[in-house]
Amino acid sequence: MKKIIWLSIIVFSLLSFSCSKKQYEVKFIGLNGEIIESFKLFKDDEVNYPEAPTIEGYDFIKWDKEIKHISEDTVITAIYEIKTYNVNFYDENDELLETLKVLYNSSVSYNHLFNVEGYSFIGWDKDLSHITCDLDVKPLFSKKTFSVKFFDEADILIKEEIVEYGSSATPPSDLSKEGHSFIGWDTEFTNVLANLVVYPVFEPQKFTVNFYDESGKLLKEEIVDYGTSAEGISAPNKNGYKFVRWDEDINNITSNLDVYPIYEELTFTVTFVDQYGDVLKVEEVKFKQSATAPDAPVLDYYNFNKWDLDFSEVMNNMTVKAIYTKEQQTYSISNVNYWLQILSSKYNINKTILTPSEINNYNDKILSDYAKTEVMDVLSITGTKTQSYVKNLITSYANINKYTIYNDSTKVALTTSEKDTILSNRNLTSVPSTVTVKYGIISDFAWLRSYPTNHYSNNYSMDRFQETSLNVGEGVAIYHESLDKQWYFVQAENYNGWIEKKYVAECSYDELEAFLKPQNSLLVISDYVTLESSHVRMGQVFPLVSKTLDSYTMKFPTRNSDGKLVLKDLTVAKSNDYHEGYLDYTYYNVFNQAFKLLGIDYSWGDKDKLGRDCSSTMNAIYKCFGFMMPRNTSNQVAIPTYGSKVSGLTNATVRNYKPGSLIFTSSHVMLYLGENESGIAYLLHNTTSGNGECILQSLNDYGGSRINGVLKLQ
């Protein structure tokens, strides 16, 4: 017990001593701030340094303080230095490229362009991302690979193979091509050094084509590649025959062939033509056989003489022409035969100049521009017209004060009051706001007037109120009635004006259409005929009902006491006055119709039923062929496409136009006939000159410089 107490006293004494002396803290800090060791010492105690920790990649250098005796709290830090390593880079031949110094745990890279044939550099054999020691680094390589593609001849891929550098590809097998032998590939692929595209090579098979004559004699042997054509030879001539072909097709050869010629008997085309070159007959004739000539056509004014070539032993294609000699008969210049004889030396006078269809096209041109031609199809006028339209037509006639006006009975000049009566008779105030069109057919030769009166202006023969005359059978659209109810204002095919009601047989539209467009028709082709006491002039058409060997029965328009149309079946004897339907448009018919009017009187506006003016004369001729013609010369020459302006004509320049053309001056029209036997151009025209009749006159006498227009009717 005493021992324990003693020890306690000693410890207490020591503790009391230590508490009475000051202590200081000493800390040893590592590279990364960590505490390596920490303890307390009394002042002037000796400091014992611990061993510095070993750190991978670093070398310990020293402590930052060298203290032997402590006198204060102290922090002592270890100082390290990072290690460096040598990285040696070598090439593919183990030759040192470069040595790089690298800090511990750092990465390193080294770029070098390697050019090792057949190989690609893929990296280095050591990890260079964390260097922790000295390194010897060598390159790594991979062998290059290439694509070898095998195609067939159609450029279709057969096989694709990936082949290492310097290795060989394996081609596809069992390649074949019809008619050919496989002989290899177009590109070597046993030591592949690049991408390759390889195609097969074929060699065509060979075939023999033997050419023989008809007797079996070999003419030629030809070696031909599969699928190609033989060159062939010219087949031997065979008299009277022509080579047609070989009996085997020598194109696209696919086998050996024996080939023989095929012949056919020679035939030649013999064409017989008339003197105008028109074909009469075409015949196929065998070699050295005779052709059979047709009957030579009968030509007016000419006699057949012979054929111009011998066709008794035909050995080639031939055109054989008929040769004629002119009749010796002489005609006077005023005889139509004189001109037809001259014409027939150049033209086939019986050949159609324009077909009915072509004449309809011509008529369409006329109807297409009313402003120029003033021609309309009466059947196209339907329904109603406005008041202003009708009034404008009526008042377009404004010449009532231009000339002296005479009473048609007493021949005494009218007073102003009497002229006002004529104007009042137009009944303009009674034109309704909407005019309903009515229709009629002319039942007798009738005047078409500027005003609703028969009193004449200027003088009787040159009556300026006389616009034209309408023929029996013409259709009209009725627009208005005069105040005295004796006149109608009408629109005809090529004119409008006032006509006495007593000459108009009123009808329905359907009746008018049936009359103007019958299934069959009868045409008046004489200067005029008298039917039912009516004067009917050339060019008028009537519905044909029936016919016998000796007669025609037609529908003839008459007017009953109520002014309505009554169609009468009228029978006439067959004669040169009539023709079924329109005449064929030939030179023969044109000239015959024209010369029927030679010598007729000139009549201004056709006031005299036996006479005509210049433009009416031409109208009469061409209506016989179905032409729709403007009434006045200024409108005739303006027909679209066919009419044209000229500046004078001479005997030389008029030859640019064919006979039958219409020739114009400023207010006159003439028919060009052609040239007489002396080469002088002649015209047929109805004129006020001389005796005032339709005459023949040379262009020289008339004066070609006066010509300013031409209408071609062909």
Q: Where are the alpha helices (DSSP H) in 351-395?
A: 356-368, 370-373, 387-395
Per-residue model confidence as pLDDT tens digits over 310-356 = 999 999 999 999 999 988 889 999 999 999 999 999 999 999 999 99
Terminal Cα-to-Cα distance of the chain (whole angstroms): 172
Q: Which of 467, 388, 484 is nearest to 431 (CA)?
A: 388
pLDDT of 239 reads 87
Angle at 527 between CA 526 and CA 530, to 5 degrees: 80
pLDDT band at 14 (very low <50, low <70, confident <90, very high): very low
Angle between helices 336-344 and 587-596 (to 10 degrees): 160
- As a whole number, the mean pLDDT across the chain is 93
Q: What secondary structure letter does DSSP report for 5?
A: H
Q: Which distant-in-sequence residues (6+ apart) come within 8 Å of 310 by Cβ?
A: none
How far apart are the C-alpha atoms of 38 and 44, rounded to whole Å? 17
Share of the chain above pLDDT 70, in %: 97
CB 131 within 8 A of CB 104: yes
pLDDT at 9 over 50: no
Is the model more confident about 262 or about 11?
262
Domain 336-354+585-711 superfamily per CATH: endopeptidase domain like (from Nostoc punctiforme) (3.90.1720.10)
Per-residue model confidence as pLDDT tens digits over 377-415 = 999 999 999 999 999 999 999 999 999 999 999 999 999
pLDDT band at 68 (very low <50, low <70, confident <90, very high): confident
How far apart are the C-alpha atoms of 263 and 237, rounded to whole Å? 9
Share of the chain above pLDDT 90, in %: 88
pLDDT of 328 reads 82
Integer angstrom CA distances of residue 560 from 353, 498, 532, 568: 43, 21, 14, 11
How far apart are the C-alpha atoms of 241 and 499, rounded to whole Å? 78
pLDDT of 462 reads 94
pLDDT of 6 reads 40
DSSP labels, 104-138: TT-----------TTEEEEEESS--SS--S-EEE-
Q: Which distant-in-sequence residues (6+ apart) come within 8 Å of 505 by Cβ?
A: 440, 441, 442, 443, 557, 558, 559, 560, 563, 564, 565, 566
pLDDT of 222 reads 94
How far apart are the C-alpha atoms of 109 and 95, rounded to whole Å? 18
How far apart are the C-alpha atoms of 389 and 399, rounded to whole Å? 20
pLDDT at 503 over 90: yes
pLDDT band at 282 (very low <50, low <70, confident <90, very high): very high
Per-residue model confidence as pLDDT tens digits over 161-174 = 999 999 999 999 87
Q: Which of 459, 375, 408 is nearest to 627 (CA)?
A: 375
pLDDT at 21 over 80: no
- β-sheet with 267-273: strand ranges across: 279-286, 267-273, 318-326, 302-307
What mean pLDDT is predicted for residues 689-700? Answer: 95
Instruction: Tokens for 483, please give them.
Output: 């105040």
pLDDT at 8 over 80: no
Residue whose entry in the numeric block shows the structure tokens 């004889």: 341
pLDDT at 10 over 80: no
Per-residue model confidence as pLDDT tens digits over 107-132 = 999 999 889 989 999 999 999 999 99
Q: Which distant-in-sequence residues (6+ apart) come within 8 Å of 532 by Cβ?
A: 556, 558, 568, 570
Q: Which of 650, 642, 694 is nearest to 668 (CA)?
A: 694
How far apart are the C-alpha atoms of 580 and 582, rounded to whole Å? 7
Taking the CA atoms of residue 546, residue 547, residue 551 and residue 555 in that order, the dihedral angle to the nearest 10 degrees is: 20
pLDDT of 176 reads 87
How far apart are the C-alpha atoms of 200 and 168, rounded to whole Å? 17
pLDDT of 714 reads 86
Q: Which of 538, 543, 533, 536 is nearest to 569 (CA)?
A: 543
The correct answer on CATH 2.60.120.620 for the domain covering 84-143 is no
Q: What secondary structure letter does DSSP report for 7?
A: H
Integer angstrom CA distances of residue 681 from 592, 702, 711: 18, 10, 17
How far apart are the C-alpha atoms of 486 and 449, rounded to whole Å? 13
Q: Which of 202, 57, 232, 67 is nearest to 133 (CA)?
A: 57
Q: Which distant-in-sequence residues (6+ apart) come within 8 Å of 253 by Cβ?
A: 207, 209, 224, 225, 226, 227, 228, 229, 230
DSSP labels, 630-646: -SSHHHHTT-TTTEEE-
pLDDT of 635 reads 95
pLDDT at 78 over 70: yes
What mean pLDDT is predicted for residues 518-522? Answer: 97
Question: Hey, which CATH number is domain 206-265, 1.10.1030.10, 3.10.290.10, 3.40.50.200, 2.60.40.4270?
Answer: 2.60.40.4270
pLDDT of 22 reads 87
Per-residue model confidence as pLDDT tens digits over 607-635 = 999 999 999 999 999 999 999 999 999 99
Q: Which of 18-27, 31-40, 479-488 has the lowest mean pLDDT?
A: 18-27
- Rounded to the nearest angstrom, the gap between the alpha carbon of residue 595 and the centroid of all alpha carbons in its chain is 47
Phi, psi values for residue 52, rounded to 5°: -65, 140
For CATH 2.60.40.4270, list the domain ranges present in the chain: 21-81, 84-143, 145-204, 206-265
Instruction: Tokens for 446, please give them.
Output: 């009738």
pLDDT of 153 reads 85
Quickly count: other Cβ atoms within 10 Å of residue 648's Cβ: 12
Per-residue model confidence as pLDDT tens digits over 167-211 = 999 999 878 888 999 999 999 999 999 999 999 999 999 999 999
In terms of Cβ atoms closer than 10 Å to its own Cβ (0-12, 13-18, 19+), residue 87 is buried
Domain 21-81 superfamily per CATH: Listeria-Bacteroides repeat domain (2.60.40.4270)
Question: Hey, which CATH number is domain 145-204, 2.20.25.90, 2.60.40.4270, 3.40.50.300, 1.20.120.420?
Answer: 2.60.40.4270
Phi, psi values for residue 471, rounded to 5°: -90, 155
Q: Which of 512, 490, 508, 443 is nearest to 471 (CA)?
A: 443
Instruction: Tokens for 364, please give them.
Output: 């369409």
